[in-house]
Every structure is written in structure tokens, then in C-alpha cells.
Amino acid sequence: MTMLYDLTVPAYQNGLKALSGELSKASAWGTDNGIGELQFAVARLAPDMFPLASQVRFTCIQALQPLSRLGGIAIPELPEDATDFAGMQEQIAATLAVLDEIDRAALGDDMERAVGFDLPNGMIFDLSAADYVLDWAQPQFYFHRVAAYAVLRHMGVPLGKADYVAYMMRHLRPGTAPAA
């Protein structure tokens, strides 16, 4: 039986671990190329988009919100953007620590139960648990996850799809990796 946990927590853990690896790579690349941590933290794709530090924080928040909305689980607040790589890594580590403690049954298996939530602008949504996960929670997580990746690429960090889906390497059939 598919549990709501199965549709959320493992994917968030994979994405956050990959994001952590990308930030580590960006930190080293920035040091080698004279780009400071604050430059990365405030970098954005467009003037009306949030900067990297916000995208990382929002990725973490989007991984935590389903725990609260689906399981009534208390989640930590992440009210401030980090100003450096260490702070962004701390946010990811804190989020992963919460995700690591969630019991698989905690979010339940009732895909049809009602889930409602409101946004700061006053909009209120009423969905089934399945629609919430598939139409809101997952897209929100990946939107901010991809935005963070895109900011790092925009800054020149040599990342590729293998970095974005680093967790897939555990599934690689032996002998099928391309020669370096």
C-alpha cells in the first residue's frame, strides 16, 4: 500500500542531499574562481525572483510543510535566509534530520482525506491529500530546488544533470557508466 510518506519524504531527502552536494561544489568552485559566498547567497535569475539563499530555505520549507499539513507534525521554523554556504548547509541538515525521524505511517494512507491550506495573500485551497501532494507539495519543492540549481549554474558553477540527480548513482547498473 502506498503511504503519503512514500510520495514525499524519500524524494525530499534525495533532492536535499543532492542540493547539499551542489552547494559544496559551488563553494569550492567559488573559492577557486574568486566568487564570494555572499555573491552566491544574493544571486538570482531575474530581478523579481528570490535569491539563492531564499531558494534553499524555501526548498527546505517545502520539504517540511507536508509533514505538518498531512501528519500534524510540528516542524521547525526557518525564518531567515542564510548568508553563506555553512548556513544553507545547516538549514538542509536540520531539514534532513526532521525527515529522518518521520515514521512511515505518520502521514497516513488516506489519499482522499481533505487537506486545506491558505497562503499569505489570502488564497485558500481545499484538496484531497493525493491532490495536495501531487499538485502542490511536490511542484513547490521542485520549483525551489530547480531555481537553486539554476542560480548556481547561472553563476558559472559546473553542475550537470548527474549533480542534480546524484542519488540515482546507487541504481546505476555496473559497467554502464560512460568512460571519463
Q: What average pLDDT is seen over the chain?
A: 96
Confidence of residue 179 (pLDDT cuts 50, 70, 90): confident
Q: What confidence category does residue 2 fall into, taking pLDDT thresholds of 50, 70 and 90? A: confident
What one-letter code names the amino acid at 22?
Answer: E
Region 82-101: mean pLDDT is 97
* Cβ neighbourhood burial of 88 (10 Å; 0-12, 13-18, 19+): buried
Average pLDDT over residues 138-165: 97
* Distance (Å, whole) CA 135 – CA 115: 12
C-alpha cell at 37: 559566498
Contact 73, 99 (CB under 8 A): no
C-alpha closest to that of 67 among 28, 106, 38, 39: 106
3-class SS at 116? strand
Q: Compute the average pLDDT of residues 147-153.
A: 98
Q: Rounded CA gap, 22 and 16, in Å?
A: 10
Q: In the predicted model, what is the mean pLDDT of residues 114-134?
A: 96
Cell of 67: 509533514
pLDDT, tens digit, for every residue of 10-30?
Answer: 999 999 999 999 999 999 999
* 126 sits in which H/E element: strand 124-128
Q: How many CB atoms lie within 10 A of CB 167?
A: 16
On whether the CB atoms of residues 24 and 82 are closer than 8 A, the answer is: no
pLDDT in tens, 26-63: 999 999 999 999 999 999 999 999 999 999 999 999 99
Helix/strand/coil (H/E/C) assignment for every residue in 20-33: HHHHHHHHHHHHHH
User: Grid coordinates standing for 133?
Assistant: 501532494
| Nine cell digits for residue 2 | 502506498
Backbone angles phi, psi at 115, to 5 degrees: -130, 125
Residue 129 clears pLDDT 80, i.e. is over it = yes
DSSP state of 172: P
What single letter denotes the amino acid at residue 35?
Answer: I
